[in-house]
Chain A
Amino acid sequence: MKPWLALGAALGLAIVVAACAGHDWVSPAALWRAIDGDRDLGSRLLVDWRLPRVLAAGCVGALLGLGGAIFQGVFRNPLAEPYLLGSAGGAALGATVALLVPLALPQSLLLPILAFAGAWGATLLVLGIARVAGAVDAAGLLLAGVAVAAILGALRSFLMLALSDETVSLQIVLSWVLGGVQTPTWPVLGLLALITLGCTGLALLLAGRLDVLGLGETMARAFGLDVTRFVAVAVLAGSVVVAAAVAFGGLVAFVGLAAPHIARWLVGPLHRALLPASALVGAIVVTLADAIARAALPPAEIPLGLVTAVAGGPFFILLLSRRLRA
């Protein structure tokens, strides 16, 4: 029970701190007055702009943590991460196409669909390459992921150069690539919260089988798990989660890697606890990172992806060196 209380308290605290932080810092008392229905301008700005942004950052973080935990479970590899395995890059390519290529469907519908298709396709591609190369271990997957991510990144840059004109703002696409949570309206935030809850529920359906898969392929088969089919299903589910995260938050690096690690340390490796804990840790991390992004260099805003990369890069290097030594 203790780690859950701690996680809940930390998330609450992170939300309060993030809501107070920004271009103009406010006191928790002013925050409370605003939530309580105060109608002056400062209070309305807080409620209509800052709070939705803070909560959206929390949801995006939860999705990233969840996606990371699913991918680490499927690949049985603590270094697996949506960003490193190319699925986030695939989602970003899909989103870029949706933003820049004039297609028949409305953008609001097209963007999540193409983001999902990109995430799924890229993950399958990485898995396929690693399998054909006969290297389904950590190094093989990571290298295949790096290669696929590089190709997808080049494609995306090409699309940006070739297709953007005065009618389509490069700014929007760029803010995607660098990662950043857009301030949603309250109804959109409600939708995002629903998606986050739905994804958590979806992930929990996989929990028991992720545990069995973690025993190794031979043992999982011997225990009656249809490994091939389950991996396909879980990759699909993971791609849905990543696509949702990318659709609302762009490319945010390393949260999907770090959150499950911190969660595993807090609640242990069983997925029934690990998945929701990873979501909570991800929410805490991104809420705070987004606050830093908004408040560190006023009046400018640092892209969220840069903040998480600066914080997460060293974390990844630490993990990698510990693993190589072991």
Chain B
Amino acid sequence: MTAVAAQKLVVTRGGATLLKGLSLSLGATGSVALIGPNGAGKTTLLKVLAGLEAPQSGAVQVGGQALASLSNAARARTIGFLPQHFEPHWDLAVRDLVRLGAERGGRPSSGGSGDAVEQALVRYELRALERRRWSTLSGGESARVLLAMVLVADPPVLLADEPAAALDIRHRLEVVQALAARGRDRLSVVVVHDLDLAFRFFDRVVVLVDGQVAADGPAAELLDDRRLDAAFGVRFERIRTAGGFILQASTTTA
């Protein structure tokens, strides 16, 4: 069980303040959608939580320990980070990519990583593709490979940055659902672009605006919150459907 907490994070870069004293507390389990307009600081927050960027001030606690005090290997095993863009520099085969994900840090872990690779290949339906090279994969296939690379080590915390943004609707649904489903027994924090998917599949939604948390709560409650409209600078019409709600945005000038 690994809860994550951020206290008063401040990140500035090139004169711009990307995170302005942001605090956020995340339980050891649960699926959390991180939403907000462009430039709100979603990616920065995720990278700081993952220990990939150091904040100017503030601190991150992971499982009761300061993130900065964890060794690189311990951090890599605890936190899985799924980047927005992934493009390996060399044209590796699918199986090798997943193996690198299982080994974490370039050194083979003591036993078991071979089994983990097999399981991940089966689980993400990559068995038939295991010898294919990255450059030959379709968008949906490469998304599954990335998922397998990050999740093969089964980290208790997953931080994912819009991994499905460029996929077609079916693959996007699959990926977002898989990520949200991890929230049942782990912590899964996902930056989601598609608001309908965020409210439909995630337990909790955190709205980021201008480097701060503008709204934070259970998805069902937040859906009706007017702060959502303010955050995106639009007027949302909440349309009830058989499966829940869909949000239809129109500009506020109307």
Q: Which of B87-95, B115-123, B181-189, B192-200 contacts A (4 or more CB under 8 A)?
A: B87-95
Contact with A along B75-118 (1 / 0, CB 8 A): 11101110100111111110011001101111110000000000
Complex CA gap A77/B104 in Å reads: 22
CA of A216 to CA of B134 in the docked complex: distance in angstroms? Answer: 14
Which chain A residues border B77 with CB–CB below 8 Å?
224
Is B52's CB under 8 angstroms from A215's CB?
no
Shortest B220–chain A CB gap in Å is 32
Q: Are A211 and B81 in contact (CB under 8 A)?
A: no
B86 touches A219 (CB 8 A): yes
Are B88 and A270 in touch, CB under 8 angstroms?
Answer: no
Cross-interface CB contact of B87 among A216, A224, A225, A269, cutoff 8 Å: A216
What residues of chain A lie closer than 8 Å to B92, measured between beta carbons? 211, 214, 268-270
Partner of B72 from A211, A218, A226 at Cβ < 8 Å:
A226
A211-B86 in contact (CB<8A):
no
If the complex has contacts A224-B76, A269-B90, are A211 and B106 also in contact, measured as CB distance less than 8 A? yes
With A208-B103, A214-B90, A269-B90 as contacts: A222 and B50 at CB distance below 8 Å: yes
B83 touches A222 (CB 8 A): yes
- Chain B residues positioned under 8 Å from A269 (CB to CB): 90-92
A residues in contact with B80, CB < 8 Å: 222
Interchain nearest-CB distance for A275 vs B (Å): 13
Overall SS of chain A's interface:
loop
Q: Is the CB of B86 within 8 A of A76?
A: no
Closest-by-CB residue of A relative to B93 is: A268
**Which of A212, A215, A222, A226 has the most chain B CB atoms closer than 10 A to its own CB?**
A222
Asked if A221 is at the interface (CB within 8 A of a chain B CB), the reply is yes
CB distance from A280 to the nearest CB of B (A): 19
Out of B47, B50, B88, which one reaches A215, CB within 8 Å?
A: B88
State which residues 51-66 of B face A: CB under 8 Å: 52
Number of residues from B at the complex interface, CB < 8 A: 31
* Closest partner residue, chain B, to A221 (CB atom): B52
Residues of chain B lying within 8 A (CB to CB) of residue A209: 105-107
- B73 at interface by CB-CB < 8 Å: yes
Residue of B with least CB distance to A218: B83
Q: Which residue of B lies closest to A206 (CB)?
A: B106
Distance between Cα atoms of A68 and B110 in the complex (Å): 32
Whether A25 is near chain B, meaning CB under 8 Å from some CB there, is no
On chain B, the residues within 8 Å of A221 by CB distance are 52
Please, which residues of chain B bring their CB within 8 A of the CB of A226? 72
Residue of B nearest to A264 (CB): B90
Q: How far is the CA of A208 from the CA of B92 in the complex (A)?
A: 13
* A32, CB-defined interface residue at 8 Å: no
Query: A4 in the interface, Cβ–Cβ < 8 Å?
Result: no
Contact of A215 with B76 in the complex, beta carbons under 8 Å: no
- Which A residues are in CB contact (< 8 Å) with B103? 208, 212
The complex places the Cα of A215 from the Cα of B85 at a distance, in Å, of 11
User: In the bound complex, what is the Cα–Cα distance between A218 and B108 (angstroms)?
Assistant: 20
Chain A stretch 84-110: residues in CB contact (< 8 A) with chain B = none
- B108-A208 in contact (CB<8A): yes
Instruction: Name the interface residues of B183-232: CB closer than 8 Å to any CB of A.
Output: none
Known contacts A219-B83, A222-B76, A269-B90; is-contact A212 B106 (Cβ 8 Å) = yes
Note all chain A residues with C-beta closer than 8 A to B75: 224
A221 to chain B, nearest CB (A): 5
Most B Cβ at <10 Å: residue of A76, A208, A219, A269: A219
Q: Judge whether B104 and A214 touch: CB under 8 Å.
A: no
Residue-by-residue, is B133-156 near A (CB-CB < 8 Å gives 1, otherwise 0)?
A: 000000000000000001000000
The chain A residue with its CB closest to the CB of B84 is A218
B76 is contacted by which of A76, A77, A223 (Cβ under 8 Å)?
A: A223
**What chain A residues lie within 8 Å of B97 (beta carbons)?**
215
Q: What residues of B have a CB within 8 angstroms of the CB of A208 in the complex?
A: 103, 106-108
Chain A residue at smallest Cβ distance from B161: A218
Inside 8 A of B90's CB, which chain A residues have their CB? 76, 211, 214, 264, 269
Q: Report how far A264 CA is from B90 CA in the complex, Å.
A: 10
Q: Which residues of B contact A222 (CB under 8 A)?
A: 50, 52, 76, 79-81, 83, 150
Contacts of A76 in B (CB 8 A): 89-90
Interface string of A244-288 (1 = CB under 8 A from B): 000000000000000000001000111000000000000000000
CB proximity of B131 to chain A, nearest CB, Å = 11
Extra contacts, 20 of them, besides A215-B86, A215-B89, A215-B97 (Cβ < 8 A), are A76-B89, A77-B89, A208-B106, A209-B105, A209-B106, A209-B107, A211-B90, A211-B92, A211-B100, A214-B89, A215-B88, A215-B100, A216-B83, A216-B87, A216-B88, A221-B52, A223-B105, A224-B76, A225-B106, A269-B90
Q: B residues engaging A (CB < 8 A)?
A: 47, 50, 52, 72-73, 75-77, 79-81, 83, 86-93, 96-97, 100-101, 103-108, 150
Shortest Cβ-Cβ A-B pairs, 6 listed: A224-B76, A224-B105, A269-B90, A209-B106, A222-B81, A76-B89
A interface residues (Cβ-Cβ under 8 A, vs B): 76-77, 208-209, 211-212, 214-216, 218-219, 221-226, 264, 268-270
What are 7 A-to-B residue pairs whose CB atoms are below 8 Å?
A208-B103, A211-B90, A212-B105, A214-B92, A218-B52, A224-B72, A225-B105
